[in-house]
Amino acid sequence: MCGIVAYVGQKPAHEVIIKGLKRLEYRGYDSAGIALMNGGLNIYKKKGRVNELENYLKDKNLDSTIGIGHTRWATHGEPNDVNAHPHYSYSKNLAIIHNGIIENYSALRQELINKGHTFLSETDSEVFIHFIEDIQINNDCTLEEAVRLALTKVVGAYAIVIMSKDNPDMLIAARKGSPLVIGVGKNEFFLASDATPIVEYTNEVVYLNDLEIAVIDNNELNIRTIQDIPMTPYIHTLDMELEAIEKGGYEHFMLKEIFEQPRSIGDCMRGRLDANNGRLVLGGIREYANKLINADRIIIVACGTSWHAGLVAEYFFEEFCRIPVEVEYASEFRYRNPVIKEGDVVIAISQSGETADTLAAIELAKSKGAIIFGVCNVVGSSIARTSHEGAYTHAGPEIGVASTKAFTAQLTVLNMIALRVAHSKGTITESRYHELLVELENIPSKVEQALKLDAQIEHISNEFKDSKNFLYLGRGYNFPVALEGALKLKEISYIHAEGYPAAEMKHGPIALIDEEMPVVFIATRDSSYDKVVSNIQEVKARKGRVIAIVTEGDALIPQMAEFVIEVPRTDEALMPMVSVIPLQLLSYHIAVMRGCNVDQPRNLAKSVTVE
């Protein structure tokens, strides 16, 4: 959940690291720090934003071509200067940056205290580097060997980079359950939590695998497992451009990413879908396609917005593929002893491909004989490499913490997978299949039309920016959209919001409705339309303030709703990809009007890499 950047080469290390940490700000953090080899091994760190660290460094000697940097999201110990990373070892000969959680740190800490160690912070990370140094001293071994031995003893997740005062040109890195990528340049190396700080300098990267240790020394990269088995680094070429991680003239990344959706949805379909010729090809699921086609059950595991995409996919798979689907919170999946049979198909959805809970769910399902299909956005990510097969969404980098284009991209890919399965199974007629292919191909243009409502939605946002609560209601395919709309609002504007199936309103939430309560209905023309109209009347009878998302040309609901937002007509099964757009814009404008940090909401991280 934190950000790691490290560098060794010929450039001024602090410039590379500070710029890299700024590129990782979207991951969420509460403090930042840097360690440099500048006349010794020196650490500088501050609570707050990277800018505060940058100001703190202005009068410091920063002459170093090697360094490590970190942005921290607090797990052990409150956010402050002392708990910020990097951390020294007991002798201050070593420094570490660490993402993840060491679960047995308390026992290790007590063991080290008994040996005379004292600790400055409350963090598990400081315990980690003390432990490594203790092993090195007591075993009279190299630092690399000490790291390897330490990793066999610690329990938990980690991505670490270590500097040594005695080895001023060396960096040691390792990972388990937390991402780490190594950029390979000309006589220089870059390490980071993801590729965004690296792409400016090189497009050649090595993705470190779980339980691997990388040693960079004298311009050489060597990788070994914690069992001391040498590995050959495999160099990937990044398919990412610097412009993709810049704001491109928009005030916020979130707004840029909302408006990128016509392109990102189109990119998901490019080379895969040709409606005119009835062609749908998904190369990523070719080898295991029959497992999916013949599955008795599909289990979808995901978290947050990806879970909402999974809920929409449940409707789609069950309607068109006639396969039972269960949608599980990945964070709960492995803690309730789930029933998984050999041959079950698990679809794991994650924007980053690094979500710790989803990875844990995958590992459990694989151990029981399930086939894993990954749907993620980041090439080379852990979920992509752990899955048997899967499909990338090709949405491009998503920097805003509140996921927007990833949601519609995930729906695009999931819908294509379901249509591919349904057509192969014969559970969809040829005419319906071609109808949905055409409608899916037209979604980017319909999203474009929905985005033209921005000014109208901004006006509505001003009306409700001071509200304390919101209720979002939808039925059928639009019920998960209600959940997603509520999530967007609360995570970036800090307004309490709840999403419900519209029919469930009478079973509790209706008690909350009064003249102060905004109620957002996703009320597009579909098989539940008449029922939703009745629900709107129930809210109006209790003086609730209705905002309705309707299909263009609707003549009935505008007579009842205080505010109406018309979206283009499309097939009921594909409507979530269009109806969600006004909800994304509504949450964005309300948050901006409330003075909230839209791209980096408080307490949130983009990629949740710890449980």
Q: How far apart are CA 68 and CA 8, in angstroms?
A: 9
Least confident of 77-81, 265-269, 371-375: 77-81
Specify the pLDDT at position 599.
85
What DSSP string describes 445-492? HHHHHHHTTHHHHHHHHHHHTT-SEEEEEE-GGGHHHHHHHHHHHHHH
DSSP 186: T
**pLDDT of 429 strictly over 70:** yes
Specify the pLDDT at position 96.
96
Catalytic residue among 47, 405, 488, 606: 606
State percent of the chain over pLDDT 90.
Answer: 64
**pLDDT of 330 strictly over 70:** yes
Tell me, yes or no, whether 514 and 435 share the same domain: no
Specify the pLDDT at position 304.
92
- C-beta of residue 396 within 8 angstroms of C-beta of residue 260: yes
For residue 285, what pLDDT band results from cuts at 50, 70 and 90? confident
Specify the pLDDT at position 460.
97
Q: What are phi and psi of 341, to 5 degrees?
A: -110, 150
Q: How far apart are CA 528 and CA 137, in angstroms?
A: 70
More confident residue, 116 or 28: 116
3-state DSSP assignment of residue 256 = helix
Specify the pLDDT at position 246.
67
Q: Maximum distance among all alpha carbons in the chain? A: 81
**Residue ranges making up the domain that contains 200:** 3-243
**Which H or E run contains 172?**
strand 167-176
Specify the pLDDT at position 606.
54
For 552-600, strand residue ranges (E) read 563-567
Q: How far apart are CA 3 and CA 10, in angstroms?
A: 23
**pLDDT of 611 strictly over 60:** no
Query: Which residues have CB under 8 Å from 177's CB, separation 6+?
Result: 100, 156, 157, 158, 210, 356, 359, 382, 609
Q: How many Cα atoms within 13 Å fall on the side-chain side of residue 244?
A: 16
Q: How far apart are CA 556 and CA 215, in angstroms?
A: 67
Tell me, yes or no, whether 381 and 440 share the same domain: yes
Specify the pLDDT at position 240.
62
Of 201-205, 272-276, 373-377, 451-455, give the range with the top mean pLDDT: 451-455
Q: Which of these three, 428, 447, 466, is where a domain ends?
A: 447
For residue 162, what pLDDT band results from cuts at 50, 70 and 90? very high
Least confident of 91-95, 178-182, 236-240, 430-434: 236-240
Least confident of 118-122, 248-252, 416-420: 248-252
3-state DSSP assignment of residue 577 = helix
Tell me, yes or no, whether 326 and 415 share the same domain: yes
Count of domains for the chain: 3
Least confident of 22-31, 304-313, 457-466: 22-31
Tell me, yes or no, whether 427 and 463 share the same domain: no
Q: How far apart are CA 396 and CA 267, in angstroms?
A: 9
Specify the pLDDT at position 439.
96
Q: Which of these three, 226, 243, 260, is where a domain ends?
A: 243
Least confident of 57-61, 298-302, 395-399, 472-476: 395-399
For residue 508, what pLDDT band results from cuts at 50, 70 and 90? confident
The alpha helices in 181-339, defined as continuous H runs, are: 253-259, 261-269, 289-293, 304-321, 330-333
**pLDDT of 610 strictly over 60:** no
Mean pLDDT of 53-73: 90
Least confident of 74-78, 165-169, 192-196, 267-271: 74-78
Q: Which of these three, 243, 264, 287, is where a domain ends?
A: 243
Count of other CB atoms within 10 angstroms of residue 333: 22
Mean pLDDT of 152-160: 90
Which token pair is 130?
A: 């003390």
Four-CA torsion 346, 352, 358, 359, nearest 10 degrees? 90
pLDDT tens digits, one per residue of 169-209: 999 999 988 889 999 999 999 999 888 888 889 989 998 98
Q: How far apart are CA 542 and CA 533, in angstroms?
A: 15
Specify the pLDDT at position 242.
57
State percent of the chain over pLDDT 70.
Answer: 96
More confident residue, 28 or 182: 182
The CATH number covering residue 347 comes to 3.40.50.10490
- C-beta of residue 405 within 8 angstroms of C-beta of residue 260: yes
**Which H or E run contains 405?**
helix 405-425
**pLDDT of 609 strictly over 60:** no
Q: Is residue 48 classed exposed, middle or buried when 0-12, 13-18 and 19+ CB atoms within 10 A define those classes?
A: middle
Q: How far apart are CA 346 and CA 175, in angstroms?
A: 25
Tell me, yes or no, whether 211 and 290 share the same domain: no
Tell me, yes or no, whether 362 and 231 share the same domain: no
Q: How far apart are CA 517 and CA 544, in angstroms?
A: 5
3-state DSSP assignment of residue 232 = coil
Tell me, yes or no, whether 533 and 606 share the same domain: yes
Strands 496-501 and 3-8: unpaired
The CATH number covering residue 160 comes to 3.60.20.10
pLDDT tens digits, one per residue of 346-391: 999 998 888 888 988 998 999 899 999 999 988 778 888 889 998 9
Mean pLDDT of 71-94: 85
For residue 567, what pLDDT band results from cuts at 50, 70 and 90? very high
Does the annotation count 606 as an active-site position? Answer: yes
Tell me, yes or no, whether 118 and 175 share the same domain: yes
Q: How far apart are CA 194 and CA 352, in angstroms?
A: 9
Mean pLDDT of 467-473: 95
For residue 400, what pLDDT band results from cuts at 50, 70 and 90? confident
Task: Report which residue type is found at 209.
Answer: N
Tell me, yes or no, whether 481 and 339 share the same domain: no
Tell me, yes or no, whether 580 and 526 share the same domain: yes
Specify the pLDDT at position 245.
60
Tell me, yes or no, whether 320 and 461 share the same domain: no
- C-beta of residue 177 within 8 angstroms of C-beta of residue 100: yes
For residue 397, what pLDDT band results from cuts at 50, 70 and 90? confident
What DSSP string describes 96-147? EEEEEEETTHHHHHHHHHHTT---SSS-HHHHHHHHHHHHHHHHT--HHHHH
If you search the block for the tokens 């980017």, which residue do you land on?
444
**pLDDT of 576 strictly over 60:** yes
DSSP 240: -
Tell me, yes or no, whether 65 and 151 share the same domain: yes
Mean pLDDT of 421-428: 95
Specify the pLDDT at position 243.
55
Specify the pLDDT at position 601.
82
Q: How far apart are CA 288 and CA 455, in angstroms?
A: 46
**pLDDT of 158 strictly over 70:** yes
Catalytic residue among 2, 268, 376, 596: 2
Least confident of 289-298, 443-452, 599-608: 599-608
Mean pLDDT of the chain: 90
Q: How far apart are CA 499 and CA 562, in angstroms?
A: 19
For residue 493, what pLDDT band results from cuts at 50, 70 and 90? very high
3-state DSSP assignment of residue 369 = coil
Q: How far apart are CA 126 and CA 163, in angstroms?
A: 14
